[in-house]
Every structure is written in C-alpha cells, then in structure tokens.
C-alpha cells in the first residue's frame, strides 16, 4: 500500500509515476540546483524524522544505520532532527564510512548530528525492543552508485550493519528503499553477498521514498522487503517531470483507470456488455487429470464480473454428455466446432492441456479480442507458426492479452524463470514488443505492458492469491472487462487491480478459494 507523506496530488496522467534510478538522479540534480546548498538533504532528514515519530511515537531508542553515501547523509540528518524534536529519546547512530571520506552533503549532516548530541555506537544495541525503531539509511537507491565500492568503504562493515537491520526485532523504517534492493527491479543484489537476501522479515517494515517513487518498491521482492510504502516529494512535483530525460519507467495502478465502466444505463441490454467465450477445459489431460474446472472458473468469473453473455466451449471429447446441463444455467455450453469466434471476446487456454493446440490457428485468426492464458501460451511458445499468427494479429486490427506467470513468460521469451524475475518490467515489455500485444505478467507486483505505452505495476493483491484457480479467475475477469468496450491495456490494468483488491479486502471469517473469489466479483 502507498501512503502519501506530503500534499502531492495527481494533476495529469492516471497512475502514480515511477522513476528508475537514472531518472531519479537527473531529477535530484535538477532540483538541488534550484535550492540553497544542503537544503535537499535537510528536507529529506526532516521527512524521515517526522515519519519515524509517527511510526514509533513511544520509542525510547532510535538506532540509525548510516551508509557511505548520501543515503547515509539522510540518516545523519534524520538523527540531528530527531534529537532536536525528541531530546529525551536516545538517538543512536552506527556508520560505515569515516566522516572525512563522506560526500560533502553527508559530511555536513554528520557534523549536525554530532552537534545535536547524537550518540555513536558500534552496532545495534542488544536491548532494542519491539517498541523502539531502527532506521535503514545504508544504501537506498545508491546501491548501484560507484561510491559503495570505493576502496575506503568497509564492505564487511556494511554487510554487518545490513544483517542487523534485516534481523531487527523492532520496526524498521527504510530510507528510499530497503538496502540491498535494486530500485529498478525490486530484486536483491545477491552479488553484494548471499547473506544480504533475507528469508523473511521478523518485524514490521516501512519505507519512505524521497523525491520520487521507484518501480522496485512495488514488484518482485520489493513488496515484502519494503512493507508499507510512504512517499514525500520534498516539494518537487514529479507529476511535471515528463521530459525525455526524466520520463517515468512505469506507472503504479492504485485504482481503476479512466476506462472503467460507468453505472449501467436503464436502457442497456445484455448485448451492451459483450459476449465472452471460454475455450478450454480438457476432459482428461496427458497426466490423466480432468482440467475442466479451470474453464468453469473462468466462465463463472466472466458471469459474475458482468459480461452480457457467457459461453463455455469445453475441450472434453471423451465426456461430451457432461456438457448437457450447466450448474449455472446462465453459462451457455457450446461445442467448440459450432462456436462463431468472430464477434466475441475469447478467453483461451484455461485448463486446455494439449487439446487446445489444434484450436489455436482458428481463434488466433478469427477472434477480435483474445485473452491467452495457461496452455494456450505454452502451445504458442513451442510453435513458430502459432507465434507468427499471434504477431500478425496487430496488422489485422485484432488485439490480444497474454496472462503468463513467470514460467510461462520464460517459455515464450526462450529464457528461464530467474531471468524473468530478475527484471519483471523488462520481461513484460519484451513480451509486449515481441508479440505486439498487451502482456500481463502475473506475480508479486503484476506488470502490464503494451507496445507503445509506459508499463503499469499493479499495487493490489497478497499471498491469498497464491493458490490454484486464481489465474483462471483473472483470465475470465480480464475478458469480461474487455468485452464492455475498453482497450486491451485498460482491461488488463483494471482486471489486475480488481483481482488483487478483492484479496486485500477479503474478510478473515470467509474461507478463500478461487470459486468463492469469482462469485464475489459482483
């Protein structure tokens, strides 16, 4: 979740702009030139100090781990501000680099902390408890900065403090981003040291992003590492930072975009909200397992999400009699060979198994709006002719949305899951460019990318969704939203947000499953 620690409000494009490290550096340099010397770091330190007091109002001890660059300078400045604001509290600082080797701004803040009476300690005191606070000002977005690898930087000292921060039993407030994370990708930099990648975080995590928001806060390992994200723009309007030198790398979806469906007019009818056809559900797959449930879930979702009509074409050659009666009479069962694909939004692949492949040339050429999921994606990844048909849809003014999880994305990109997860924004964008469609890369911080626009990172969702069937629900939801008349990108962004939002708001007393999730979409 994102909370705003300033009066910033959106003024132009939808979604919160996310800037990569290079763009943030350019914005920082531009802004610093407009201000008196040291002003930007003083503002940053004050913002950290104020949030620290809000997070831990009764803390008797605040320990700040300060790194070798300007992130450490923000920590020194926060220490000075905290000592002035809370003179009765113990403000403790541990540093990586000797003051004579610090950057000029950081050294000035170090001197201010000394003058304020801050206490220097070698490491995190053992007596720190759950009511106290730890502030991580070790690396921030400076992880990729060359200053972290200068010979006078004690890497062992840095790692020692980093491990203490990560194992802290008291709440942790990270400055800019959790140290050790790549701000562009949300991945821990394992080259720093294998021990720098924590298995879990034993205490509540907060992160104060300063000046800009970063993609790594909201995807991959960043969501767990950074916890509750706060943002203070320090007085700089990033909404106006739209020059090529500082264009957003992505946008954060925190609510449905402008293409969301308005209240339905009284004069509307079922034809106003489109037909959704689900093609999938192999009766007995190659492992002898029935996969019809996946297709039913997608159909049930499309029904409850508001599609005008929902048709289900099951790939169940051996059990055709099972199609005679639907448990939901509103879902119309069709034989695949009798279905007209030219006028509907088609959701293809849910539980399709190997039986989906013979149908793909037809739907790829005929369906005007096509959501490709699961086994449809696997079949395309193994067939150059199917991949060519998918790419050619754009030339025929036909749209497609791919909804892969990381392994399916890796198969499509001819790489491995680790490479996809290492840079989820890049992977989603590569899928969109390669197949000229909208790609919805599922996972922690779902990424939505289209060929000619800035990618989106979805802010909703949690680990409740980490169970079988929820991907089929997302595919059906995407198809239902798309059928109402919005663009492919709008459908993908809205579906991902709504899907995760339901999980975020799920009542603790209601057991969670994919089918119950589908029926709550209304």
Say how far apart CA 139 and CA 158 lie, in whole Å: 9
pLDDT at 154: 73
Q: According to the annotation, is 405 in a ligand binding site? A: yes
Per-residue confidence (pLDDT) for residue 202, from 0 to 100: 76
Of 171-175, 284-288, 430-434, the one with minimum mean pLDDT is 284-288
pLDDT, tens digit, for every residue of 323-372?
556 788 899 999 999 899 999 999 999 999 999 999 999 999 999 999 99
- Residue 21 β-bridge partners: none
Residues 234 and 316 in one domain: no
Q: Which of 9-18, 327-336, 499-508 has the weakest average pLDDT?
A: 9-18
Q: Average the pLDDT over each of 201-210, 268-277, 436-445 and give the range with the smallest value.
A: 268-277
Asked if 372 and 460 sit in the same domain, the reply is: yes
Q: How confident is the model at residue 426 (pLDDT cuts 50, 70, 90)?
A: very high
Q: Is the pLDDT of residue 148 over 60?
A: no
Distance, in Å, from the CA atom of 179 to the CA atom of 196, rounded to the nearest integer, reads 9
Looking at the structure of the chain, the number of domains it has is: 2
284 and 242 in a single domain? The answer is no
> Is 446 a known ligand-binding residue?
yes
442 is in an annotated binding site: yes
DSSP class per residue in 309-344: EEEEEE--GGGGGGGSS-SSTTEEEE-GGG---SSS
- Domain match, 364 and 298 both: yes
Angle at 376 between CA 373 and CA 378, to 5 degrees: 100
> Which tops the pLDDT comparison, 154 or 345?
345
Is pLDDT at 441 greater than 60 in this prediction? yes
Least confident range of 19-28, 138-147, 435-444, 510-519: 138-147
349 is in an annotated binding site: yes
**Is 472 one of the annotated binding-site residues?**
yes
Closest by alpha carbon to 435, among 404, 415, 412, 417? Answer: 412
Q: Are residues 89 and 236 in the same domain?
A: yes
Cα-flanking dihedrals φ and ψ of residue 105, to 5°? -65, -45
The answer on 316 and 173 residing in a single domain is no
SS3 at position 136: strand
116 has binding-site annotation? no
Confidence of residue 261 (pLDDT cuts 50, 70, 90): low
Cα angle vertex 301, ends 411, 487, to 5°? 65
Residue 138 contacts residue 165 (beta carbons within 8 Å):
yes
pTM: 0.91
Rounded average pLDDT over 477-493 = 96
Q: Which domain holds residue 481?
A: 276-519
Question: DSSP for 4-36?
Answer: ESSS----SSSSEEE--HHHHHHHHHHHHHTS-
Structural domain contains residue 264: no
The pLDDT tens digits for 386-400 are: 999 999 999 999 999
Query: Is the pLDDT score of 98 beyond 80?
Result: yes
Q: Is residue 270 part of a domain?
A: no
What is the structure's pLDDT at 150?
47
- pLDDT confidence tier of residue 142, bands split at 50, 70 and 90: confident
- Which is more confident, 489 or 287? 489
Whether pLDDT at 165 is above 60 = yes
Residue 484 and residue 379 share a domain? yes
pLDDT surpassing 50 at residue 111: yes
444 is in an annotated binding site: yes
What is the reported pLDDT for 241? Answer: 52
Closest by CA position to 220, among listed 14, 419, 454: 419
Same domain as 433, residue 388: yes
Rounded Cα gap, residues 268 and 249, in angstroms: 39
445-475 pLDDT tens trace? 999 999 989 999 999 999 999 999 999 999 9
Residues 283 and 347 in one domain: yes
d(CA 427, CA 413): 8
Q: Which of 11, 25, 522 is nearest to 239 (CA)?
A: 11
Report pLDDT for 196. 54
364 with 432, same domain: the answer is yes
| Cα–Cα distance, 215 to 153 (Å, whole number) | 28
User: What tokens were used for 398?
Assistant: 């036909």
Over residues 67-76, mean pLDDT: 96
* Model pLDDT, residue 328: 85
User: Is 266 inside any structural domain?
Assistant: no
DSSP string, 253-303: E-S--TT---PPPTT--GGGG-EEEEEE--SS-TTS---HHHHHHHHHHHH
Are residues 502 and 366 part of one domain?
Answer: yes
Domain with residue 40: its CATH number is 3.40.50.10260
pLDDT at position 270 is 72
Q: What CATH code is carried by the domain that includes residue 474?
A: 3.40.1190.20
pLDDT confidence of residue 246? 79
Instruction: Please check whether residue 271 lies inside any domain of the structure.
Output: no
Instruction: Work out the burial of residue 308: count CB atoms within 10 Å of its CB; fewer than 13 is exposed, 13-18 middle, 19 or more buried.
Output: middle
Looking at the structure, tell me whether residues 370 and 484 fall in a common domain.
yes
The string of pLDDT tens digits covering residues 205-246 is: 999 999 999 999 999 999 999 999 999 999 987 655 555 567
Q: Does residue 123 sit within a domain?
A: yes
Least Cα distance to 181 among 238, 210, 223, 150 occurs for 223
The per-residue pLDDT of the chain, averaged, comes to 89
Does position 147 have pLDDT exceeding 70, yes or no?
no
Please tell me the predicted confidence (pLDDT) of residue 149.
44
């Amino acid at each position: 979740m994102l909370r705003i620690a300033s009066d910033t409000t959106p003024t132009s494009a939808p979604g919160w702009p996310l800037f990569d490290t290079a763009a943030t550096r350019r914005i920082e340099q531009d802004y610093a030139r407009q201000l008196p010397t040291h002003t930007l770091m003083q503002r940053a330190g004050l913002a950290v100090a104020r949030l620290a007091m809000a997070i831990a109002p009764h803390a008797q001890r605040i320990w700040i781990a300060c790194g070798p660059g300007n992130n450490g300078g923000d920590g020194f400045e926060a220490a000075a501000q905290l000592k002035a604001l809370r003179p009765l509290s113990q403000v403790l600082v541990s540093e990586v680099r000797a003051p004579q080797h610090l950057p000029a701004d950081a050294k000035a803040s170090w001197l201010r902390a000394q003058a304020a009476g801050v206490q220097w300690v070698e490491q995190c005191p053992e007596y720190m408890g759950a009511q106290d606070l730890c502030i991580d000002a070790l690396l921030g977005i400076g992880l990729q900065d060359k200053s972290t690898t200068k010979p006078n930087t004690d890497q062992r000292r840095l790692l020692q403090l980093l491990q203490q921060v990560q194992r802290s039993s008291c709440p942790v407030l990270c400055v800019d981003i959790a140290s050790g994370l790549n701000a562009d990708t949300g991945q821990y930099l394992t080259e720093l040291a294998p021990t720098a990648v924590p298995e879990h975080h034993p205490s509540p995590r907060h992160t104060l992003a300063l000046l800009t928001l970063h993609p790594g806060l909201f995807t991959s390992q960043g969501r767990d590492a950074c916890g509750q994200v706060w943002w203070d723009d320090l007085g700089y309007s990033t909404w106006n930072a739209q020059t090529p030198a500082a264009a957003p790398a992505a946008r954060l979806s925190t609510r449905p975009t402008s293409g969301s469906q308005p209240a339905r007019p009284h004069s509307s009818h079922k034809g106003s909200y489109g037909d959704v056809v689900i093609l999938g559900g192999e009766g007995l797959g190659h492992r002898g397992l029935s996969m019809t449930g996946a297709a039913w879930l997608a159909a049930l979702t499309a029904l409850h999400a508001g599609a005008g009509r929902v048709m289900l074409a099951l790939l169940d050659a051996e059990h055709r009699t099972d199609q005679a009666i639907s448990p939901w009479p509103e879902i119309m069962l069709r034989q695949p060979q009798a279905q007209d694909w030219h006028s509907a939004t088609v959701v293809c692949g849910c539980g399709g198994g190997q039986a989906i492949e013979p149908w793909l040339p037809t739907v790829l050429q005929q369906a005007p709006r096509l959501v490709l999921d699961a086994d449809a994606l696997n079949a395309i990844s193994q067939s150059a002719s199917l991949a060519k048909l998918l790419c050619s849809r754009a030339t025929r003014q036909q749209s497609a949305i791919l909804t892969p999880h990381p392994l399916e994305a890796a198969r499509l990109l001819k790489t491995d899951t680790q490479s996809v997860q290492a840079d989820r924004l890049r992977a989603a964008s590569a899928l969109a460019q390669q197949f000229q469609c909208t790609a919805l890369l599922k996972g922690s911080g779902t990424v939505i990318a289209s060929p000619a626009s800035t990618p989106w990172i979805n802010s909703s969702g949690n680990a409740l969704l980490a169970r079988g069937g929820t991907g089929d629900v997302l595919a059906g939801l995407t198809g239902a939203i798309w059928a109402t008349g919005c663009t492919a990108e709008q459908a993908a962004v809205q579906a991902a947000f709504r899907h995760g939002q339901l999980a975020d708001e799920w009542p603790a007393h209601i057991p969670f499953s994919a089918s119950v999730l589908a029926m709550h979409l209304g």
